[in-house]
Amino acid sequence: MIAPLRRTHRWIWIARVLALPGLVIAAWAVRPPADASPVAAMPDDARGQTLRFEPAVARGFLADDGSLTVTLEDEVPLAMAYWSATHSTGTKLPSDAIWLGAVDALAAARLRVPDPQAGGTIVLYSLGTHAVFARAASPVDRKRGG
């Protein structure tokens, strides 16, 4: 009565026993090397002046036309980049912060700063920890300061 079901069941298991270990071993074989850096390289066409983040958990370039390229040195949960015309301290996001976009360690984010010549700060903020975790003054401000 249930012989066809039992035959189907048997064939499913034979196929499964043969296929799944092979699948797992193949997936293990193609995994990225353990010592490979998960941090994305800065793209060759990244333009502008180097940003100096404090602390040095990110790298970036800001061009005169406002194009901003940022990548993180390590994963930070739900990291976002903001632009602030003021120079704040602490872990709270400045009240005038303008959201630029998401950033992470896997790929360089290409963003745009609204008015880089006016001076300001790139603020990196984690939505995961609800705290500012790095800042970089714009090159214009650095020149004024120097």
Residues that bind another protein (CB under 8 A): 1-3, 5-6, 8-10, 12-13, 16-17, 19-21, 23-28, 30-32, 34, 38, 75-78, 128-129
Other beta carbons within 10 angstroms of residue 73's beta carbon come to: 15
Query: For residue 132, how far is the Cα from the chain centroid?
Result: 15
Supply the minimum distance, in Å, between the C-beta of residue 11 and another protein: 11
DSSP-assigned letters across all residues of 39-94:
SPPPPTT--SEEP--BSSSEEEEE-TTSEEEEEESS--TTEEEEEESS---SSSPP
Q: In this complex, which beta carbon is closest to another protein, that of residue 35 or of residue 45?
A: 35
Supply the minimum distance, in Å, between the C-beta of residue 143 and another protein: 35
DSSP 7: H
Supply the minimum distance, in Å, between the C-beta of residue 105 and another protein: 12
Q: In this complex, which beta carbon is closest to another protein, that of residue 13 or of residue 65?
A: 13
Distance CA 146, CA 143 (A): 5
Question: Phi/psi at 98 (nearest 5 deg)?
Answer: -110, 125
Check if the beta carbon of residue 105 is closer than 8 Å to that of residue 39.
Answer: yes
Supply the minimum distance, in Å, between the C-beta of residue 106 and another protein: 11
Q: In this complex, which beta carbon is closest to another protein, that of residue 75 or of residue 115?
A: 75
Supply the minimum distance, in Å, between the C-beta of residue 40 and another protein: 15
Q: In this complex, which beta carbon is closest to another protein, that of residue 10 or of residue 47?
A: 10
Q: Which amino acid is at 99?
A: W
Q: In this complex, which beta carbon is closest to another protein, that of residue 117 or of residue 129?
A: 129
